[in-house]
Amino acid sequence: MPKNLHALTVDPQYAPAPAPINSRGTISGTFRLSPVRRVLSCPNAVLGMRAGEVNPRAAAVLELAESLVALMRVSPACVGLAAPQVGESVRVFCMDLTGHKKARSCAGLVVMANPRIVESSGEILMREGCMSVPDFTGDVRRAATVVVEGYEPGSGKLVRVAADAMEARCLQHEIDHLDGFVFVDRVADPSRSLFARKTYA
């Protein structure tokens, strides 16, 4: 048993209470349940609406951000997730391009509430995919570099990311989700720019 867990079990304050004799009922705890979040697929009304601003310091916003990061971490090939993808129409997303082969700039784990693009330049066509569009990838034209500002859930601190290559693309893709767009909406000619998705083993 890990040392820290063992330490908890021997604290007499938390030692198991002796079983009551002739117990007549259940004493229920108050353990707080976290929702199990699942990623919605298109078409879905929440994915098509503009999400609302939030108070980045609100406990519920921090909890939502934590669950987005956890879901991103366990989803193969996922480099970003936005709150509308789990059915929450609020302006929160997470992103992490660490180790991605198409990344150049990499700010590591980025989690933002109420993000906005404050600078953008250039234009580039690149392939992208989305967990909410499980069957396709597509070639989408987006700004080559962006600077995005937002607020960190929990601390409420202002964060600013200057990004290029795949990270700039990911930021624009996630902010699109907050505005009710998926990448398929950005494809000029779906018959020529959408491709059957490769499966990730």
Q: Per CB under 5 A, which region of 12-20, 34-42, 127-135, 163-171 contacts Zn ion?
A: 127-135
Per CB under 5 A, contacts with Zn ion among 7-66 are: none
Q: How far is the CB of 78 from Zn ion (least distance, A)?
A: 9
Nearer to Zn ion, 58 or 126 (CB): 126
Count of residues near Zn ion by CB under 5 A:
1
Nearer to Zn ion, 130 or 168 (CB): 130
Site string for Zn ion, 69-108 (x = CB under 5 A): ----------------------------------------
Q: How far is the CB of 36 from Zn ion (least distance, A)?
A: 20
Burial of 59 (C-beta count, 10 Å sphere; 0-12/13-18/19+): exposed
d(CA 81, CA 2): 32
Number of H helices, E strands in the chain: 4, 8
Nearer to Zn ion, 14 or 200 (CB): 200
Nearer to Zn ion, 82 or 107 (CB): 82
Nearer to Zn ion, 113 or 178 (CB): 178
Interface residue with Zn ion among 61, 130, 161, 168 (CB under 5 A) is 130
Known catalytic membership, residue 174: yes
Q: Per CB under 5 A, which region of 26-34, 59-67, 115-123, 124-132 contacts Zn ion?
A: 124-132
CA proximity to 96, closest of 113, 116, 114, 75: 75
Closest residue to Zn ion: CB criterion: 130
Burial of 31 (C-beta count, 10 Å sphere; 0-12/13-18/19+): exposed
DSSP assignment of 147-187: EEEEE-TTT--EEEEEEEHHHHHHHHHHHHHHTT--GGGG-
CB-CB contact of 171 with 106 (8 Å): no
DSSP assignment of 77-107: T--EEEGGGGT--BSEEEEE-TT-TT-SS--
Q: Which positions touch Zn ion (CB under 5 A)?
A: 130
Catalytic (active-site) positions: 174
